[in-house]
Chain A
Amino acid sequence: MEVKVFFMILLGTILVNNYVLSQILGLCPFLGVSRKLDSAVGMGLAVIFVMTLASFFTFLVYKYVLVTYNITFMSTITFILIIAALVQFVEMVIEKISPVLYNSLGIFLPLITTNCAVLGVAVLNLKSGFITAEMGLMKAVVQGFGAGVGFTLALIIMAGIRERLELAPISKNLQGLPITFMTAGLMALAFLGFSGMKF
């Protein structure tokens, strides 16, 4: 039973309610970092990492600090500061531990603070009622991880398509953002097919 719930959250966030293609979150990096496949993979990994951690910490802080002291109205400002601090911290740790990883991920980390999918997953964890639910922390972390994977999936597919688009003859006025949005629309349409999935 419990496993099924987690599986459903995971499947929901990766495919059915894909953060980029269905909930329309995290478009700035989705459009900005999808020109090359390598950088898309790097960005994706960094986002998975930060989203999972952000879900964990924002959940704990919300449940045990903000609710306890009855200051839930501070949640937005607290979350964004947690995320900013987290990103900063992750950046420093990676730099110390693995300079190789830092060289490939480093430039993406500062961008993640303003990735609205990260703040989005923190806020959605609240709205999904995980705070009062049993095993809420697990659910929140799974949702954070799934959201990151879903984001990465969309980003990688998009990067693959855009690398091909570079070579395609496209009318001048359609080049750049317009054709990217059309592609994203077609991808979203394809992902819509998952919404009929049964368990």
Chain B
Amino acid sequence: MFNSIIKPTIILTAVALISAWLLSLVNAVTAPRIEAQQKEKQKAALETVLPGYSITAEKKASSNGKELQYWEGTKTIDEKTVHTGYAYIASGQGYSGEIRTMVGVDDSGTIIAVSILQQTETPGLGARCQEVATKKTLIGTITGDNAGTESAVPWFQRQFAGLDLNMKIQVMKKGDWNESIKDELIRNNALSAITGATVTSRAVKDSIEAGMTLLRTAVTFAPRKEIAK
């Protein structure tokens, strides 16, 4: 009895206790840093989607039992014009798990910028929604030719800027986004899907639209007709 049940239990408990104690030490060191980083990340995401705005309030909108966390920010152009912007976190079901996107919209319902916070899509396909198109080359680095800075915003996310959420967003299959197809996409209020990952692209789009519907229950937007034309 003692040798077959109690002794192994004691030994295993001791091993588990020692490892728990060691890990709690490591955790005590790393936890504050991880937390600080997550705060930093959220702050950085807010700065990306609402550039130049100062965040004034953090609110919640809810309808039909669904809740949406959103931020309100203002940007002072001059003494008379103060722009209001909103940021919210949209989440949608991709192929493998949730995709969380932070979206910034201005008071007319036009997207300022989006930032994908979390995704677990297939590497090389859906995960390219966070890929930055770089022009830096290996030879350029060796010869020191990589002068100039590049935008660090991934191309998939950059194309959301300027899309009007008062209309449906279209998904087109144009391949990777680049400057030459930019005008055509904006004209059609469309985005170009990631090659081989249309579902991921759609999931992001759908979640942004669904989040906007929720946001509308709390905020009224004034569509700018002249820009829409």
Contact = CB atoms under 8 A, between A and B. Distances in A.
Direct contact between the two chains A and B in their complex (CB within 8 A): yes
Interface of A: 5, 8-9, 12-13, 16-17, 22-23, 71, 73-74, 77, 81, 124, 127-130, 133, 192, 195-199
Contact of A129 (B118, B125, B199): B118
12 contacts: A5-B93, A16-B122, A17-B95, A17-B96, A71-B24, A74-B20, A124-B97, A128-B120, A130-B97, A133-B98, A198-B198, A198-B199
Contacts of A16: 95, 122
Contact of A8 (B23, B93, B100, B198): B93
A185 to B, nearest CB: 14
Contacts of B24: 71, 73
Nearest to B30: A73
B124 to A, nearest CB: 10
Task: For the complex of A and B, list the 4 residue pairs with the smallest distance between their C-beta atoms, beginning with the closest.
Answer: A128-B97, A129-B98, A73-B27, A17-B96
A195 B122 contact: yes
Contact of B120 (A9, A124, A196, A198): A124
A17 B19 contact: no
A74 B31 CA distance: 13
Given A8-B95, A195-B122, 20 more contacts: A12-B96, A13-B96, A16-B122, A23-B122, A71-B24, A73-B24, A73-B31, A74-B20, A74-B23, A77-B23, A124-B96, A124-B97, A124-B120, A128-B96, A128-B98, A128-B120, A129-B91, A129-B98, A133-B98, A195-B125
Interface of B: 16, 19-20, 23-24, 26-27, 31, 91, 93, 95-98, 100, 118, 120, 122, 125, 196-199
A68 to B, nearest CB: 16
Contacts of B197: 195
B199 to A, nearest CB: 7
